[in-house]
Amino acid sequence: MPFYEHVFLARQDVTAQQVEDLTAQYKGVIESNGGKVPKTEYWGVKTLNFRIKKNRKAHFAFFNLDAPPAAVTEMERQMRINEDILRFLTIRVDALEEGPSIMLQKRDRDERREERRGERRRERDRDGPEGVDEVELPAATEEARP
């Protein structure tokens, strides 16, 4: 059977749980038509570069598919009917990638970067402002007072 990568965009109004339900629904369509879905990923809510059906943001979900063309056609037909699906794209590939997709790798990298920034910020706050040396002021003596 041929391999496919499939991404769909769901309206921003739906919840993440509803997107997971949509993912399970379309996974069921593929499996009932003789295909397999080895990997599904939820990429989260992202800002769109332009409005799609009056939406500025959308939930992104990704599938790896090992399915006959008829199963993919049926899934796409059902996506066209669903009002919550803004867009979808299916691409035939030679082989399915193992491990997390580039989008998840990017998200993990960004999260690690934010953690490092937070650690540096906490260290800076704890140590005080950089570049300021403590200056010892002369002690006031009884003679110096008027």
137 in helix, strand or coil? coil
Q: What is the CATH number of domain 3-95?
A: 3.30.70.60
- What is the percentage of the chain residues whose pLDDT exceeds 70? 87
Tokens of residue 132, six digits: 């300021």
DSSP string, 64-113: EEE--HHHHHHHHHHHHH-TTEEEEEEEEESSPPPSS-HHHHHHHHHHHH
55-59, 63-67, 120-124, 129-133: least confidently modelled range:
129-133
The ranges assigned to domains in the chain are: 3-95
Which pLDDT does position 145 carry in this prediction? 56
> Between vectors from CA 37 to CA 99 and to CA 66, what angle results, nearest 5°?
95
| Global confidence as pTM | 0.69
